[in-house]
Amino acid sequence: MSSIGKVVISLIEKHSHNEVIDIMEMATSMGISVSNVEMEATTDVATMRQGEDDTRPKIELNTTNTLEQNYTLVALLLADCLIAPKKLQREGFKYEIFFLKDLRQFRLSRTFLLATRLAIPEQIINQIDTFGFNIDAYIGKTNYLPSFVNNMIKNSNANFIVINNLLGGMSIEHLYKGKG
């Protein structure tokens, strides 16, 4: 497994608490700042780009977003930057409200698969189709959109994603430096 793969697995383990993963804490530990801003376009809900002075990634979330939208968007943006680091360096990433309206159509994308692995512990993912698992009760424990949690796919864990080279060739130097 690559060094970035080991870092991703360790981030997941480090930020897992009582059947949930704190994605905001994970972003901070990766040296990524997260802030709420008023966005010019009313349909924009999140952007991620590298800073101009400090080249670490910065996530901006629309002030009109709900808590669940923010947590879901941060998970998706972290996955994006791990999968396509060159795009982060060039133009960055942007999400509009329309994307969040129908997450189901993206559930098999690399970004969605990795985002759910970053946000939901593997032991929960492995229980999703077992008799007696109450997904609604689990959703109540999290800060993610129900459509995000309901569309996670079993049998595709973070190790699978990393081992099968779905992550980009991201420089991981900023992951070790933390905030700056």
CB 22 within 8 A of CB 67: no
Q: Looking at residue 85, what is its pLDDT?
A: 85
Contacts of residue 103, Cβ cutoff 8 Å, sequence gap at least 6: 72, 112, 145, 147, 148, 151
pLDDT confidence tier of residue 82, bands split at 50, 70 and 90: confident
Strand partners, 47: 60, 94
Q: Looking at residue 171, what is its pLDDT?
A: 44
Distance from C-alpha of 87 to C-alpha of 110, rounded to nearest angstrom = 15
pLDDT tens digit string along 36-76? Answer: 999 988 899 999 998 777 788 999 999 999 999 999 999 99
Q: Cα dihedral sign for 48, 51, 54, 55?
A: positive
Cα 21 to chain centroid distance, Å, stands at 10
Q: Looking at residue 9, what is its pLDDT?
A: 82
Q: Is the whole model's pTM more than 0.75, yes or no?
A: yes
pLDDT confidence tier of residue 6, bands split at 50, 70 and 90: confident
| Cα-based distances in Å from 72 to 98, 142, 163 | 14, 10, 24
pLDDT tens digit string along 88-101? Answer: 888 999 999 999 99
Q: Looking at residue 65, what is its pLDDT?
A: 96
pLDDT confidence tier of residue 2, bands split at 50, 70 and 90: low
Mean pLDDT throughout 175-179? 42
Burial of 130 (0-12, 13-18, 19+ CB in 10 A): exposed
CB 45 within 8 A of CB 95: yes
pLDDT tens digit string along 134-176? Answer: 999 999 999 999 999 998 887 644 445 544 455 554 444 444 3
Strand partners, 61: 36, 46
